[in-house]
Structure 1
Amino acid sequence: MSVIRRGSDTSSEGTSVIQVTATDADDATYGNSAKVVYSILEGQPYFSVDPETGLIKTALPGMDREVKENYQVVIQAKDMAGQMGGLSGTTTVSITLSDVNDNPPRFTKTLYEFRVPESNEVGSSVGVIRAMDADIGQNAEMDYRIIGSDGPGMFDITTNRSTQDGIIVLRKPLDFERKRQYSLRVQVENSHINPRFYSMGPFRDEATIKIVVEDVDEPPEFERASYVMEVKEDAAKNTVIGSVSASDPDDKNSLVRYSIDRRTDMDRVFNIHAGNGSVFILRELDREENAWHNISVIATEFNNPRQISRVPVYIRVLDVNDNAPTFATNYETFVCENAKANQRIQTISATDPDEPLAGHRFFFGLAQDAAGKANFSVRDNKDNTAGILTRRNSYSSLQKSVYHVPVVISDGEFPMQSSTNTLTIRVCTCDREGNMKLCNAEALTARAGLSTGALVAILLCVIILLMIVVLFAALRRQRKKEPLIISKEDVRDNVVSYNDEGGGEEDTQAFDIGTLRNPEAIEESKQRRDIVPETFYPPVRRPVLPPTRDNNGDVRDFINQRLQDNDSDPTAPPYDSLATYAYEGNGSVAESLSSLESVTTEGDQDYNYLSEWGPRFKKLADMYGGDDSDRDS
């Protein structure tokens, strides 16, 4: 059989490892047939076996796993008490020595050297060192630490647990110009130390690390992280308000040029001298507009313009008393007609955009030119407020409805500033308690909170609404008018509708049918397109004698004459039925020959008038002595 057994390195001689047992099927009570004896065939001189029990033990002291870790031991079991002729069997035992921490870690070299640029950031890795340990697993875990350095706090060392490497980390910024080399003394030791092996010596090792700092072209450095400057708001242009200073930290000590980042000063209020860093103003300042200005100054290496650095500059504008106090609000008050003398009607206060260190102190009074004839007085309350008082017992809105009181307000700063503010006081009718009952229109408007602009806006809205109503009514009225063409299918009644027979289908320019449909739409100034105006061809009118039975011979001449007149008249229509027989009148014996009577009130048209034409014409000719030849006329 094969058995795997772990031993322990550095075990002493005779240390038990494992016991093997062999069995024999012979009868143990009969002689030595079942008596087994154990012996070792392979594994000397490291191991031995007890002949009777089969217990395997170490035969040599101080076995070392780091020298040999695995062993193969062959054990033989033989009956007949091991005598000649006995039967035997063998088994193989695999023995592996387990590790103990009996080896210290050791650096691969005693001196390590690293080169690092001075521009390396804090927290970055400077270099990696490694120590070796013959043990394995937990016994090979180790810790690194710095036990000596000529730059305290500049570096630190940590352990990578997966690789057991020591990593040197930068803790402070490097500066080639200040220190170009560092020396460290580091130590490594096992994390888990077995006290049994202290006698073997220290389980640690030491090494020296040399760190060389390399020079890098660095941007200019300002003397301060930020600058604060102050200037009065009345300072003149080109006044210097302060300066900044920067230098090249490299050994070459390049010259530095200064400029202002215009993205922080887009209004170009400030400028800086390129050579010495003096900051001055380009335009007048106003503290009430901007009390602080935050700009950024740029320093650039003259030899390498790519090397630049910035510093913030905070400029505070100091206050100067350059603003006069004014009313705190737009006061508008009233006085009762039954007011008494020395009665307070209003309390006023003032405001000033300036900010004196000791606070504001305002003084109130009447303007000098109005003090002698004033109807009101101003009493300073000594607390930056004042009261407006009446100077007589009564006021009349009929005599004067509005008073304008000029109030002078001054401050107590140097130079003193003052302004004259007008207070509007309206005269109103009040009750006994002093509550306003009736006032003029302007006062009522003011009390109601409506300004002149608001009234104008309301009036404009009313006018616009009225215009919209009028326009809507006009549109509705226009929609109700009769259309020019009632129906496209109703064009057959042309003779009946426009009271004229027309000239047939060829007479397309004679009349505007739409106009004839709606006679109200006819324009008096519109002339017909198919006739010549009468002003160019005045009609020839001859005296007409009414026909009688005594002048029957003249009927023929009458009719012929009328036909000739109408044929030669350029203003006559291009047809002759209506123009020729329109003179019959209601008293004619022959009655009317016009076809217009065929139109009834119900709108039905009689088209049989053509069949009635012959008899009516014959009747007319007989009355006036005509013959059949006259009918052609």
Structure 2
Amino acid sequence: MRATPHPEDFIRARLSDTRSVTLVESREIRHTHSRMYERALFPLCLLTLVLIQSAASCELRPVLVQVPKRLPAGYVISESKEELSLKGCAAKPVAFTSSDPDFAVNTDGTIITVHGLEITTKRFSVLVQDENGIDWRVDIILSCKDEASQKSSSAARKRIKRRWRPLPFSLIENDRPPFPKEVEMIASDSSATYSVYYEISGQGVTLDPVGLFTLNKQTGMISVTRAVDREQYPQFNFTARVFDLNGKERDESLPITVNVDDVNDNAPEFIGSRFFTVEERCRAGTRIGKVNATDKDQPNTSHTLIKFTLLNSTNMFSIDPFTGEITAKTNTLDREAQDKVYVEIEIRDMGGAPNGLFSRGTFVITLTDVNDNPPTFKEKLYKAKVQENQENVLVTRIPVEDKDLVNTPNWKALFEVTKGNESGNFRMETDPKTNEGLLYVIKGLDFEKTPLVNLEITARNEVPLVGTDTKWLTVPLELSVGDEDEGPEFNPSILYLKVKENVPNGTVIGTYKALDPENKNSDGIKYYKMTDPGNWITVVENTGELKTANTIDRESPLVHKDMYNITIRAVDESKKTGKGMVIIQIEDVNDNIPVIPGKDLIMCSKGDTLGSVLVEAMDMDKPPYSTPLLFEFGADHDGKWKLKDATDSSVVLEQAVAMPNGLYSVPLLVKDLQGFGKEQTVNVRLCTCEREDNGGICGARSASSSLGSLGILALVLSGLLLLLLSLLLIFICSTKREKLYISDDTGTGGMLLKSNTEAPGEEVKDGALMLIPGAEVVDGSQQSGLMESKNMTSASGRYGQSFFQGGGVYNTTTQEFGTEKFYSSGRYDNNMYGNATIQKLSNTNTLDTWKTNGRYLDRKLAYLGDEEEGRYADDLLKTYGHEGMGSPAGSVGCCSLVAEQESLEFLNTLGPKFRPLADVCYTTNRTGN
């Protein structure tokens, strides 16, 4: 149950507040009616309040406070605890809430300003919550200290008539039942003159939320029908109108504002991410992240003033109570001890007051890894064993532990042999899977020298250590070297010998022996030569003596920087071997004389100016057996030349007198520093040069050389062409009188293919024919549509078969000479001769090959050579003293005619040079009808 303030104080405050806020200047002066209205209203309100007071169980009077016009932040409005102490209500206050965000109430009931402000009048309420959870409302009315005088002076100057008298009023959200509850009464000045009724419309009445407010039309009392949520509807605005009984509106509409006072009914909520990360070993005060929260209650009030509290891990982290920023509290955060920290955070409104609403949440802070732990060895001493002379073998594995994050540069180990590896015998690697150190021997160890090797192994990470004073750790390792039977060893492994070049063969230049590493002697060891590029040295098998076998030449290309290398192999009785190297340093002797490499020189003629040319010499020996060289003229010097500007290896040859262009021989004597040398002749060509670069180029040489490779090639090809032409003429002449009558008396036929060599010429349009004696000519044009097949034989063993179709014949023929058979077939058109066919047109398709024809002709010529006076005598070569007309021997012969329509008589007019060539292609026998 809510108590009501004292009626006199309330009315006095209400009237004062009404005059200061709602007085409006009226167009019509109704002073008399206004005075009567005030006198009538005061007793009525007083009676109503007395009745209400008598029904109340306790009294909560409004707090009237006069304050300055300007209020600074923190100004104490009221220090009296009795005003908000629920005096006489049999209840004890436990929480105070201000409806105005400009003011705050401490837990002891003191009202203070939150920030500076300026007022004339101010009204708000304080919600007092008792220990039973019941809310009590106390109105606070503030006025300026000089407000009364201002009002009196203002009233004296001007009279103001009131039209509507209600003030803006407010509701408390989520008010408890019963409903409806009266909120405020409205009244118009027109009610003093007319019988009126009121209507309201707008938000909360006719608009959503519809029906929240109701109105008693006759009295003007506004009531609320249900609880209101401020977070949904912080304010309502609707309109009141007044009408007389005739329905005429008697006053202007009144806009009414209803503010919903906030109560702390929403707990704060977390928003944003709940996961943060920070490096381990970070500095104290390092910012980790910010916790964000929100509250649905009225902003800028204590209802939304959130306080953040860390409930655990307070030794590791801290949180700002009002910003929610989390920071590291220490520099000893250790990921290896705890990689994720779950922290509980409470957010409470009312600035963290005990009566504030709160929420709690869990946040995860992940610690990221830094390299604060070095690799540690599992043992204090490691031992291993390896056989001597073994190379590139794994000796042992060295395990380590690292507490940092696995498979990161902070965890991966790098190993190094920091002591005992001065000779480079060892190599360390890391197993990427197990992170173990792998010790390899890369150069064989010698048991006789070092049976035990002491090493020191250091383990590091890929990145430096941070956040700790610990250093990289080391561990000792004892490596035992196992003994084994070894081959002989040369001592020293490389032997240097000095030898003069050209020493006699068989000269002993040194001895190179090997020792058995077990007994330290050379007994039973034999020596063999492995490499000797010039075969200059021999090795005595039993003693290891080195003797010269051939001439040692320092100037040989096998010698590099005066040194010559050979390798020797030593083999003991157990067939084990050892290898050594002998480096022979060859000392120079004066075995080479200076020579002039370029003896053909060109000197450019320059008119009256005497020419000169540079003569260079070289000596294969080294100083002092070579340069500086001495240049002199030989005994046959004619005095036309002189020498000047001599250097260590060159001299300038200059004309002493003017000479015509030509080739001159100049004798020069060249000696080395020891006086050894010989006379040499230099050929100097004196000429007019086209170019003087590269020693000069004479004009004639330039012209000839301008032909270049193409000119030379043209000359060579021309010579070859002439040679081939000569051979061709010889062949033609040797076969000129030979009659190639390719048949015998039995009528055996053959065929001669076209050739580009000495053919009758383009005048003969058809190819050369090889006629078969006794062949019968058949006109293919008369055989159109006829298909006939014949088998033909001859006494000489030739046989064949002919097919006739249309205007052509397809013929197959086999001829036999001795024991050889020749086969031919083809497609022939237009004509057939006798019992065989002849090739008539150039488009003949033949299956005869050149090889078959060659074999046929070879056999034919063999028959021709058997009998000079026999039946083939007409085909033999005959000698004529003169070809052509007037020859005593007469004509060689005439070409045979194939047919009258293709007579070759015109060949007789070609002259004596061509006629014998044509006669080669044709026989004197003519066949046909």
TM range (shorter): 0.3 to 0.5
**TM, length-normalised to structure 1:** 0.42
Larger RCO (alpha carbons 8 Å, 6+ apart):
1
